[in-house]
Amino acid sequence: MARLGSWIESHPEGIYVRPADAWIDPSQPKARAWVTHGHGDHARGGHGAVLATSATLAIMETRYGPQSGQAIAYDEPLQVGEVSVRFVPAGHVLGSAQIVMEHKGERVVVCHLPTALLPSQPNWPMSKSFSCWTPAPVRTRPR
């Protein structure tokens, strides 16, 4: 049996959501990027397509110029590949979001917290880009 959340991979350049072929807050240009908020260590230019809140997209366009962006409202459900995704308020900066993802009966939330504030979770790959996965992935239905 695969480890819970094994469909999400932590890489030096960001978090890769394999069944959606999407990257969260990638530091390198990617075909599909989901951006949690407008701070420069999360929102970068050059992506093929960006999914973010309208405020985050506006911040990115101010900084990097026009984006191939799709605005998503808080709590708006969206299906991308095999993942249902929804952005919820993060209370960090204007437009900031936590990303709630569900896939094959598991739910993972990517939030934004300094890693120093997190309890140690030895089984959890943690992005070096300060995004974290919390809470631990949960099953939303039995296998």
Q: How many residues bind Zn ion (CB under 5 A)?
A: 1
- To the nearest whole angstrom, how small is the minimum distance from the Cβ of residue 39 to Zn ion? 3
Q: Which listed residue (11, 18, 39, 107) binds Zn ion by CB under 5 A? A: 39
- To the nearest whole angstrom, how small is the minimum distance from the Cβ of residue 110 to Zn ion? 13
In the complex with Zn ion, the residue whose CB is nearer, 33 or 83, is 33
CA pair distance 82, 11, nearest whole angstrom: 20
Query: Mapping DSSP to helix (H, G, I), strand (E, B) and coil, where does residue 7 land?
Result: coil
Pairing, β 83-89 against β 78-80: antiparallel
CA pair distance 80, 7, nearest whole angstrom: 14
Piece of the chain touching Zn ion by CB under 5 A; list 23-31, 38-46, 102-110, 116-124:
38-46
In the complex with Zn ion, the residue whose CB is nearer, 5 or 95, is 95
In the complex with Zn ion, the residue whose CB is nearer, 67 or 96, is 96
CA pair distance 135, 98, nearest whole angstrom: 11
Which 8-state DSSP code applies to residue 76? -
Q: Which residues bind Zn ion (CB under 5 A)?
A: 39
